[in-house]
Chains A and B, each alone.
Chain A
């Protein structure tokens, strides 16, 4: 059973999604404001947060930033279609994925399960690349011997890329492998996650050593 925190201000939408997600086997707690959501987050420590961006009081972007500051818990945001400002802002605030409203519970459930699967991996030992150690069994990463806190999505991205150093992955390939999206995945998810990952493991994110951009194609893991 997965503990989900749903932060949504409209009472009927909130209750409807709670009913549907419970039906998919999740334990759903709810909050109707950003402040209430953050309180609930700290007291209940959910496995995953489903966050509406349009909230009264402190908005979804700020809630996401504060959650990210405190924890690596996955965040899925609910956005309006075509509202690029929402998507870009939400991803910059640290969200792992997004679902367009009106959200179909089956789609939302699939995204929830995909995000949570990122915390599990087929273990094949410890990979060491220069100063970076990736333990595929314990699912931990350390740089210069110090542990690095990665979200499940960042970790899954790093595991996927480092599985085959030097191989170029297209954004679509990464979307399908890491995010489990269909062919219409949003490549901004990849670019945003790469940025956050670089900020955590690269000495100089502007000239990355481990996660390298292959212009016009995608990304690869270095050093090769």
Chain B
């Protein structure tokens, strides 16, 4: 809820905050200045009116007879002006309609205090000033005695009120003028804050995208500059550890490649001489013949393992190249099965021909690994389905064994992963499925493992039709 009321963007928040502060400030300033100005205005108006009345009374008093008669009271009233009431004992002289406003409280105050009393009242929304004063007779010797004459008069203060309203109005219009200025300032301030924030964001994005050289030069010495420095330090340390990690990884890969390469020379010799051994084994004694046969079998295993290791090294190093040509997928698969003597063991379900641009040898490696795996670890019959759509080609290898256990599924493509720890020696190198997966990816496709509805393990190779020339 509050999220909807409070804008999300930093710029909008700053803008709203600036406008709010400006409006509040302007209103507060206008309110307090209008208040004090109106007080001063009312006070001075009251004083002026009172002085005028006192002066008027003072000017006429010497002409009055004492005790006064009705004529004297009328004269006095006329001197003070309209809306005036003059009383002396039972005599009254009245002019104007608004004298009902003269309160008993005022009269009592004039009586008891025997001096000029003013009162401000508001009736029906209009402000009035009431003035009441007793008239004092000053004897020639200077003694002052109350004459018993009292003068009450009412003055309309509406003009003053209007002046005060005018003051408040001008304060509001001043505040209204300040708002656009505040918006402008807010935009400027937002810009100066947001520019470094935006730069930081861009740098963070580049870092996230893998550009570890991305930095923001810090400007100034504020909190944003501190944040920039911290971010740069973070990027620095990430870069350092990434470089170290990459170097270690590269070293490990190079080591694997070097070891395989070094192994190849003695293996070349072994490969050559075990054949000589094989051709002479028939004439040997039984134990020597068995030894020779073991040497031959193990040499071939070793050759396969080293070749797979080197293939993995090349795939890791990204130096494995695709030799793309247009081939008939079905033909390559069938030829591969035939060459390995698997045609009778595998049920091949495929259309007549599927032409696809790919690396013939790598496709053969994938299929040989999948089918070899199914024949070794699954149970017959093994089924191989090839199907195609406009965009993709699928090759599915399904066996009829118990399938892959749940805990094995995530690891089937791991290097040297053995599902059954007791069966540590299998004819495979332990790299076959990992190599198959990498080869699928090299073609822009993928390889997934799962179980068929019938229970057997199922591997699905997906290859895209539109392999770009490599």
Contact = CB atoms under 8 A, between A and B. Distances in A.
Interface string B410-441: 00000000000000000000000000000000
Please classify the interface of chain B as helix (H, G, I), strand (E, B), loop, or mixed, using the class held by over half of its residues. helix
Contacts of A186: 323
Nearest to A82: B314
A199 interface: no
Contacts of A13: 265, 268-269, 272
A103 to B, nearest CB: 7
Given A13-B265, A84-B321, A183 B332 contact: yes
Contacts of B335: 182-184
Contacts of A106: 275
Q: Which of A12, A15, A80, A84 has the most CB of B within 10 A?
A: A12
B307 interface: yes
Nearest to A10: B265
Given A183-B336, A184-B360, A184-B364, A103 B271 contact: yes
A101 B264 contact: yes
Contacts of B266: 12
Contact of A16 (B273, B326, B364): B273
A106 B272 CA distance: 9
A105 B296 CA distance: 13
A88 to B, nearest CB: 10
B361 A102 contact: no
Contacts of A183: 332, 335-336, 339
B171 to A, nearest CB: 86
Q: Which of A15, A103, A105 has the most CB of B within 10 A?
A: A105
Interface stretch (A17-25, A56-64, A121-129, A152-160): A17-25
Interface string A177-221: 000001110111000000000000000000000000000100000
B276 A182 contact: no
B325 interface: yes
Nearest to A216: B326
Interface in B309-350: 310-311, 314, 320-321, 323, 325-326, 332, 335-336, 339
B264 to A, nearest CB: 6
A79 to B, nearest CB: 12
Interface residues of B, number: 31
Given A20-B276, A81-B307, A182-B339, A102 B321 contact: no
A191 to B, nearest CB: 10
Interface in A98-123: 101-106
A102 B326 CA distance: 29
Given A187-B325, A216-B326, A80 B272 contact: no
Interface string A1-45: 000000000101101110110010000000000000000000000
Contact of B273 (A10, A19, A101): A19
A105 B270 CA distance: 11
A188 B323 CA distance: 10
A105 B272 contact: yes
A17 B274 CA distance: 11
B338 to A, nearest CB: 8
Nearest to A21: B272
A13 B265 CA distance: 7
A180 to B, nearest CB: 14
A186 B364 CA distance: 13
Nearest to A217: B326
Interface string A76-97: 0000111010000000000000
B268 A105 contact: no
B178 interface: no
Contact of A104 (B275, B307, B321, B360): B275
A184 B323 CA distance: 12
A19 B321 CA distance: 35
A184 B339 CA distance: 10
B366 to A, nearest CB: 13
A184 B361 contact: yes
B206 to A, nearest CB: 35
Contacts of B267: 102
Contacts of A17: 268, 272
Given A82-B311, A82-B320, A216-B326, A105 B264 contact: no
B275 A105 contact: yes
A19 B361 contact: no
A101 B265 CA distance: 9
29 contacts: A12-B266, A13-B269, A15-B269, A20-B272, A20-B275, A23-B275, A80-B261, A80-B264, A81-B307, A81-B311, A82-B310, A82-B311, A82-B314, A82-B320, A84-B321, A101-B268, A102-B270, A102-B271, A102-B303, A103-B271, A103-B272, A104-B271, A104-B275, A182-B335, A182-B339, A183-B336, A184-B361, A186-B323, A216-B326
A-B complex: 9 closest residue pairs judged by Cβ atoms: A16-B272, A183-B335, A102-B268, A102-B271, A16-B269, A12-B269, A13-B268, A20-B272, A16-B273
Given A20-B275, A80-B264, 6 more contacts: A13-B265, A20-B272, A23-B275, A182-B335, A186-B323, A187-B325
